[in-house]
Each structure stands twice: as structure tokens, then as C-alpha cells.
Structure 1
Amino acid sequence: MRTGVILLGLSVLGAISVCGGAATLQASTFTPDPGETIQLWVSGAPVGAEFLWDLNGDGAADRVTQAPRLQWAVPQGVHTVGVEVRHQGKVIAAIEALIVADPYIACWQTISISGNTWEVEVTFRAKTDLSAPGLEIEIPAGWGVEVLDPGNLTYKIKGGIYGFWATELHPGDELGFRYRLYPVSSGLSFVFSGKASGVVGRRYYTVPIAGVVSP
């Protein structure tokens, strides 16, 4: 199943979810092929709400709908997508996520809360033949990290997690890596950031890790 992020333990079959306020943004995938049409929709919004969709991350609404659903043919590239939910003239939710439409690599993260910690599972899926797949994951300042399952990733932790798999992948092959973030002090917020890489042909190639931007 092609998925992106599951946040706060909310699982939707064939979809990913990002929570913001009382509403939840769902998508059929965060890692579509270039030009693929995906489904975006908001659940949990009240009747009569209005939805302002920002599809290029510039802060301006590209589409405004009365229905909580949108189809979008995703151009190749990295897209910061946001939706603002308004009801009775007030903004009740603002949700933002990263969609990466790439022909070579799909990499996304699944996030769940356990107490005051965040457990993150990163999935790397090849869309073409590649070698030396790798990850670079930033660790937010003030947060600690614990690797739960390296998934055979050779890695080091120094201001972030840096590693690679000594293997070759073919289209559809997947690898995984799982870690936990925990706050060193209370009241900290953070933004997820990282990239996946591999050697495609003879070229070193990178893409951002898709999914939630800020929980």
C-alpha cells in the first residue's frame, strides 16, 4: 500500500492523515508519480465550512471549495500543500504537508505518539534501479533521538541521522528505518525535515522525505 504519513495514530486505509485543529487532511499518497492525480480531502470539518487550498506553498489560495475534497494532478517536484478551513468567518484549522512527485525515489514517514515521544518510521521505496540508498534526517534542537530499528542502515548520529544501505534496489523494493524523538525539556515544537538519496545511473540523486511538515 502506498502511503505517506499517519499522525496521532489515525490510520485510514489507502490514505495518509495530517491533523490540524479539529480537522484532518487526508491524501491518497504523498509520493505520487509525476502527473499522477491524487485525492486530497479534509475530514472533521463542520457543515458549512469553506476550504482554501494552497498547492504551491506561497501562502495564497489556488482553489476555494465548499466541498472538503479536491483532485489534483501533481506536477513533478516538491510541493508544500496547505489547506485552511474557515467556518462562520473564522479560521478553525490550518494544515500543511509535503508532497513529493518524483520519478525515481519515494520516501515518506509514518508518525505516531507514545506518551510524550514521537515514533517515526521512514520508508524508502525505489521507483527505478538505484544503488547506495541513504537517509539524512535532521534532529530538532532540544530533542533527543533513539534508534528503534535500523533496518540494516549503516548510520551515525551527529546533529542528525546520516546513513546508507549497502545494497541495490529495483522498482518496488522497500527499506525501512525507525526511530524515536523525545523532548529534553517541555514546551518544545519542531519541524520534520530530511532527505532520501541514491545513485541513479551514475548520478547522486536526492529528494525530500514526504509527509507532515509540523505536527
Structure 2
Amino acid sequence: MTYSIENNINMIKFFEITYSVDEKIMGSESQINDFFDRSNFTKQVIDLYQDNRKNTFINDQIINLHNFSLDKKSKQTDILSSDYLKLDGFFISEKFREVIKNAIAHRFRVLDTTLYKKGEKIDNYFFLNIINTDSIDYKKSSFRVDASPVKWRDGGKEIEINNEDDLFSKNWEVIMDDPTMKILPKKAILKEYVDIIKLANSNSIYFSEHLKQKIEEKKLTGVVFEETDIEFYLDQ
């Protein structure tokens, strides 16, 4: 399927956001790497979490967000690297929360959390929980089968995707054939403007150029932005 970009469709710049793993910045590669009370983390909790997680917000009745510990060498940056909940979003500071509180996005929540370091309680951190955007027009967008690592991509082979369920089912077939490949948008057409995007079938999170600039203006620490080969357009 091909889709030509008409005059009423404007390109929007997005950047993939992640956290630094530079120990000079973060203090340790994984800042959140343990639980304050391990007795609260059981196989039953893990199973319930996995059952609940498909494209839904974290159920904080299942996952105790007040039970995570920082590595003793870690620094308190504005976005924290973590061994946990990496598919669901990021642990962020109060300063980060303030920057994004007016962001245009429909599928994210900021949840209260409590962190500990060397047994001492650390306040003013939150969990930014992001789920798949519903702003993508699948029939107008174009998709390709390409390598998961960005540095391996070559443009891929075009594949028709009509909706999110179609993406999940076809992607499973792709992965079974070659685990290094997945289905990615080539041109993602947005039905409305948003500042935060998490694409279905991907763990990657994208912030608009506008939001990126606000974060950089506030000099938030630990944040890394990377260019993406996905083109985003707003259908007006």
C-alpha cells in the first residue's frame, strides 16, 4: 500500500526519548535495580502484571509503585534508568513532571511513587506511564518489515497494515521467521496533533520537537533524545 503526501499533510518532527546509561551522569548504569521490600514481589504479582499489561495502564493495585530502591551509587537525575517497568514508561522527577503536565497527549498518566536509597525514602519522583497511541491512521500510514536495531535498517520491505490488531498478528509471523526483524511505520499519519507517542508493537517512546525543546531549556538531567527514521505527518 502506498500513500502520497498531499498539501494538507504536514510533517512533524519527533525524537525517540530514553535515559542515559552513562555512569558519569547517572552514577550507575541501572539506577533503580532492587525492591525496598522483596516479599511484596512474588510470582503471583508478576503473572497478574503480565495478564494486565497489554495496552493498558499499570494497575497500581497489582504493582506496588512505592517499593523500588535505587542503587547506592546512583545519582538523582530527572529521568532514571531502571531494571523494572521498562515497557511501561519512565521514573521521572518533579521537574520533569512539570515540563510535561501541559503536553498534548491522551494515553499517558503520571503516577505517584516512592523510591528508597540505602533505606532512606526519596520523595518527589513519579512514574510516567505511557500506552500505545490511538492517534495513528493505519490505513493512510505506510509500514515496512525492517531490522529492530536502527543501525541495521535498510528501508525494509513494504507491508499492508489496516489496524492495530493486524499489526500485532502480522508482526508475530515476522518475528517467528526472523527474531531480528519487526514491522515498523515508514510514514506514520497522525489523525490529530500529540506531543507523546508510543507506537503499538514497539517499546520506543517519541516526544515532539516542541516537548524536546522544553526539556532541553529546563536542562533536565539523564534524558537522551535520538533521531528516528520514522516519518510523522499530521493529517489536517
With the shorter chain as reference, the TM-score category is 0.3 to 0.5
Flag the structure with higher helix content: 2
TM-score by length of 1: 0.32
| Greater per-residue strand proportion | 1
Q: TM-score, normalised by structure 2?
A: 0.30
Q: Considering Cα pairs closer than 8 Å and 6+ residues apart, tell me whether 1 or 2 has the greater RCO.
A: 2
